[in-house]
Amino acid sequence: MTKLNVSNPKVWVVIGVGFAGILIMAEVNRRRLKARNSIKQDFGAFIERIELLPFPQPPPPAARLSLSGLSFAIKDNIDVKEYVTGFGSPAWKQTHEAATKTAIVVTALLKNGSTCVGKTIMDEFGLGITGENVHYGTPTNPKLPSHIPGGSSSGSAVAVAAELVDFALGTDMTGCIRVPAAFCGVFGFRPSHRAISTVGVLPVSQSLDSIGWLARDPSVLHRVGHVLLQIPSIEPKRTRCFVIADDLFQLCNVPKQKTVYVVTKVIEKLSGYQAPKHLNLGQYIASNVPSLKGFIEQSTIQQNGMSTLRALSSVMFLLQRYEFNTNYEEWMKAVKPRLGSQVTNHIAAADTLAPENIKVLYKVRTEMRVAMQNLLKNDGILVLPTVADPPLKLKSRKGLYAEVHDRAFALLGIASMSGCCQAAIPFGEHENYPISLSFIASHGTDKFLLDTVLDMYSSIQNEVSIQSSASPLPDTNGSIDASELLKEKGNAAYKGKQWNKAVSYYTEAIKLNDNATYYSNRAAAYLELGCFHQAEEDCTKAISLDKKNVKAYMRRGTARESLLFYKEALQDIRHALVLEPQNKYASVSEKRLRKLIS
């Protein structure tokens, strides 16, 4: 190679261009690093930082504004004047102008002294509960950084949990506030349907949409609610009647010692609280929402009520898809935006809905509201888990998401389809995952529910602390004695459909003799009572004692199917078929489960 001629001007041009390129690349990398650090600082919660100052504080002797000194963020489907509302979609943002007015709900908060500091990331078009957005990324769950934050109000929940704001606005259709509240370990409130003005908020499904909020502190949750709720005030009642949905706690693997037991102990200690009643909610809905019958899949587990709850969530999604398409079909066809797979599937599914079925969807919603009103009246509170499973890890396989889908929406569809108000409440942790229980009150009793949460929460915290340090409730065993006689009594009670008595006899037999048959028989009685977790545990114990117990595999498969763990149920049924290939019941069950999974 020839030597460079440094006197040649072209050489210096090349050197200068190269040096400039190095500087430009360094600046680009610096900005990228700064952007990454910025995301780390705000946990990726914000899509846009803004500042909306509160209205002036009135001069003395006027009282201080109720939200004075508090900061808040808003989900990016809520309008702010002079800003484009993004709706979780770059294509939407690029094809729309800035809002000409600020949403009524935001103005109300500013008038009462709070400051808005930004807009938060959401699932694309609000269609999802994972919190993952293919265009803008996934906000980091401050409690569990390697897990999803939940959505679609993901950024709002993360901003609150990370203490970036005191509270945040979101919207809830199918669980979009309740799920991220549960996964991030904060309070979430879904108000009664249409209790708060939706002017200036992009709709997803008008029949399900509800503007709600998230907070770390129950007093902040309460104060925000009393500002936003535009419904007639209901006088606080000294008596509160709690109803515990026993069948719904079967879906949740958190020990009852940390959930139902905590609620029961708190109620015992507070005045004006009646002893809780217990209810199989799925069966109640099946009896009181007759229009659901056409949506219930015929199966061997129909009588336990879980099929009813699964049907209710199916109706919820059909209604959401129909209304979403009605709102945005023209824009979708005109713009043809690049969509995430979840939104694409959602839109495609809506096209299959026959017009004659639409009226039935609205009929189910009406019947559901009446049923819940009759159950709870003006002083009742339903207690249930907010979600059935802990948050999935980021980028979990799709099959795993499908497994938890039915369990989640069996719980979430109740308030969405009835229009009731629901408060998601943090109840400590189990195995390092946040626990969240929910209280549901009838439509229009929002202030009563908020007052109840505020009244109870310090006692809940105390009881949660006690139970976290307490030893698990002990299991007792005894020596072998008259166990066979007790087993026969249990069998006789079972045949006579005296399920509770059968459980008692089998339990006494187990105390005397740790026998696989006794556990399997007790599981059969538990199945009849709808106690699926207990049945599953008994079958697991029976299998550990006798690996060839076909009945235990079959019964555990039934319990797991009832709990909506289809893949695990299928594994049990296949085990039974290996042991007993001619088992016709197992063959039928295997075909049904394969259909549910596919």
User: What is the CATH number for 508?
Assistant: 1.25.40.10
Give 267-314 pLDDT, tens digit per residue. Answer: 999 988 999 999 999 999 999 999 999 888 654 444 457 889 999 999
Residue 353, domain member (yes or no): no
Residue 578, domain member (yes or no): yes
- For 436, the enclosing helix (H) or strand (E) is strand 433-441
Buried b / exposed e over 101-117, threshold 16 CB at 10 Å, is: ebbbbbbbbbebbbbbb
Give 388-434 pLDDT, tens digit per residue. Answer: 999 999 987 665 566 688 899 999 999 999 999 999 999 999 999 99
What is the predicted pLDDT for the residue at 370?
98
Residue 41, domain member (yes or no): no
Positive or negative torsion for Cα 105, 110, 115, 118:
positive
- Mark whether 451 and 583 lie in a shared domain: no
User: Is the pLDDT higher at 38 or at 25?
Assistant: 25
Q: Are residues 405 and 175 in contact, defined by beta-carbon separation less than 8 angstroms?
A: no
Q: Does residue 236 carry a pLDDT above 70? A: no
Distance CA 361, CA 311 (A): 11
Amino acid identity of residue 155, one-letter, is G
- Mark whether 212 and 261 lie in a shared domain: yes
Distance CA 509, CA 230 (A): 59
User: Is the pLDDT higher at 471 or at 290?
Assistant: 290
Which CATH number does the domain housing residue 429 bear?
3.90.1300.10
- Mark whether 492 and 434 lie in a shared domain: no
Give the residue numbers spanning the domain of 510.
Answer: 478-597
Distance CA 367, CA 220 (A): 34
What is the predicted pLDDT for the residue at 512?
84
Residue 331, domain member (yes or no): no
3-state secondary structure of 587: helix
What is the predicted pLDDT for the residue at 238?
58
- Mark whether 202 and 245 lie in a shared domain: yes
Distance CA 411, CA 441 (A): 14
- Mark whether 412 and 376 lie in a shared domain: yes
What is the predicted pLDDT for the residue at 478?
32
Question: Which of 410, 434, 468 is at the close of a domain?
Answer: 468
Is omega for the bond preceding 152 within 30 degrees of 0, making it cis? Answer: yes
Q: Does residue 251 carry a pLDDT above 60? A: yes
Q: What is the mean pLDDT of residues 46-70?
A: 93
Mean pLDDT of the chain: 89
- Mark whether 81 and 169 lie in a shared domain: yes
Under the banding of pLDDT at 50, 70 and 90, the label for residue 5 is low
Residue 40, domain member (yes or no): no
- Mark whether 484 and 455 lie in a shared domain: no
Residue 343, domain member (yes or no): no
- Mark whether 78 and 199 lie in a shared domain: yes
Q: Does residue 584 carry a pLDDT above 70? A: yes
- Mark whether 191 and 134 lie in a shared domain: yes
- Mark whether 458 and 375 lie in a shared domain: yes
- Mark whether 450 and 541 lie in a shared domain: no
Residue 31, domain member (yes or no): no
Question: Which of 468, 487, 520 is at the close of a domain?
Answer: 468
Q: Are residues 129 and 158 in contact, defined by beta-carbon separation less than 8 angstroms?
A: no
How many domains is the chain built from?
Answer: 2
Under the banding of pLDDT at 50, 70 and 90, the label for residue 341 is confident
Residue 89, domain member (yes or no): yes
Q: Which of 60-64, 162-166, 564-568, 582-586 has the lowest mean pLDDT?
A: 60-64
- Mark whether 387 and 526 lie in a shared domain: no
Question: Which of 433, 468, 503 is at the close of a domain?
Answer: 468
Q: Does residue 18 carry a pLDDT above 90? A: no
